[in-house]
Amino acid sequence: MEQVATSSLRGRILRGGALLGVSQGACQGLRFVRNLICARILCPEDFGIAATCALATTLLEMVTDLGLERMLVQDKQGDDDRLGATAQLLLVLRGFLIAAVLFALAGPLAVWFKAPQAVSAFRVMAVLPILGGFVHRDTIRFQRELRFGPWVTCRVLPDVAITLAAWPVALWMKNYWAFVVLELVRNVLALALSHVVSDRSYRLGWDRAIAWRFISFGWPLLLNGLLMYGALQGDRVVVGLASTPVELGLYSIGVMLALTPSMMVGTMATQLLLPVLARVQDDSREFARIHRFCLAGLTALAVAFGSGLVLVGPWLVGVLYGERYVAAGAIIGWLGAAQAARIIRVGTTVSALALGDTRNSLFSNTLRLSGLGLAAAFAAVGCDLREIAMAAFVGESLALVGSVIFLWWRHGIGLTVGLQSMAVLGIALAFAGTAANMEFVNSSVLTSASALLLLCVVLSIVLLSISEDLRTTCWEKWATSLRAVRGR
């Protein structure tokens, strides 16, 4: 009976993890398509102004995030009505606080980001955190029972709706207000759906002891929120403050094209690898073997992705976004290389998390900020977007090195395979960068694609030669496929 219950629980965990991974990948993909549609209609300046509004709102949300929703899942009394009502009130108060700050700073923000015409847009965006504050958190409480469907519904359906509306809205508005309208619609839909799918009635309440527990639980997360913002958005803030909305729009296009696939890979890899590694965390030998195998696989993905953007990224920018955004092709290679390093880092941070070590991510994100400092220095002396994108690659590379060393120092695993992965990625990016600057490769996209294919073949052979686990698995899959074919 106990084995049946354990098997059932394991199945629910795997199904829930798969649902979360697919939904987050879907949301990333829908956001990418939505921005692509708007970029084809709107000019880089409008895209840059919309990016400034999003940067300001995201900053205020991340630096006030006390992790209340996570505590609703983690706390033993997460189903208690008083705890839920207090959490709802704190989130409403947080929403009004963010809105008040954003509304008050609308004028200065517009001046700092060199977009004085966007003051009204900043003030309208202040409505978004208020709407978010009134979202029913029953969808979070359901996750205690491994019920992820309602939460997924509230995330995916609004994204589907506004992606379908993106084309007509962009044609109608014909400027950055299209982004503002779409975000308002998305938040209104998410708010309405959260109340539709919830079981309990919406209630606000106050309990001083519970509120203090929320604050005690969440204040360390504020620091991590700042680090994450700096790691993911910091270089765009530097561009926005030092350059014009047009340049910020171009840089945002490059970031979006490079970041969206890597975020999808990171999300799905985390969902798939974390339970597998956590299950063998007490078996150091097996854990190290799975870690090596996973890092080799992520390295293969990183090589293909990073080298691909270096070689064919400029062509891809022109095809996807049109002639107005062709200038973003000059930075896409560096941004792709940065995200390739980030993909490999997913393997080390997930392995550390499976061992109960959350400091690896904190440490590596701190190192990532070195790239932000370098970007600020480049911007201060008048460097262009290419140098700022290069600073992002430097920051991600240092974060990867730090994550590999920290994992080895604390747990004694992953140093050799980590160094091998970094060496393979470095060689691949160097080859791709050299080839991209050769006239015969730049002559056509077909030649660039051929160079990429050759690079992937050569480095696949290298990966197979240095990773015994990957070599064994590939041989087993090949032998199984041959037997299946012969059996027919």
Q: What are phi and psi of 41, to 5 degrees?
A: -100, -40
The pLDDT score that the predictor gives to residue 470 is 54
Structure tokens given for 456: 């992937």
Which are the contacts of 33, defined by CB distance < 8 A and separation ≥ 6? 163, 166
Cα separation, 114 vs 119, in Å, equals 11
Q: List CB contacts of 397: < 8 A, sequence separation 6 or more.
A: 338, 341
CA atoms within 13 A on the CB side of 79: 6
How far CA 172 is from CA of 249, 316, 324, 346, 384, in Å, comes to: 20, 27, 20, 41, 34
What pLDDT, on the 0 to 100 scale, is given for residue 408?
A: 94
Helix-strand-coil percent breakdown of the chain, rounded to 5?
85, 0, 15
Secondary structure letter of residue 147 according to DSSP: -
Going by the DSSP 8-state scheme, the letter that residue 76 receives in this structure is T
Nearest in space to 221 (alpha carbons), one of 64, 79, 28, 85: 64
Q: What pLDDT shows up at residue 443?
A: 45
Euclidean distance between the first and the last CA atom of the chain, given in angstroms as a whole number: 40
Q: What is the DSSP letter of 268?
A: H
Q: What is the pLDDT of residue 440?
A: 42
Give residue 397's identity as a one-letter amino acid code.
S
Note the pLDDT tens digit of each residue in 144-173.
Answer: 777 778 888 888 999 999 999 999 999 998
CA distance 462 to 118: 52
Return averaged pLDDT per consecutive 10 residues of the chain, 488 residues in all: 50 64 81 89 89 84 71 70 87 92 90 88 91 88 77 90 94 91 94 91 86 75 75 86 89 89 79 76 85 86 87 85 88 92 91 82 87 90 89 94 93 87 86 67 51 58 56 56 57
* 116 secondary structure, DSSP code: G
Contact 65, 222 (CB under 8 A): yes
Task: Convert the pLDDT of each residue in 15-25 to its tens digit.
Answer: 666 676 678 77
| Cα separations in angstroms, 195 against 85, 119, 147, 215 | 14, 32, 16, 26
Q: What is the pTM of this model?
A: 0.81
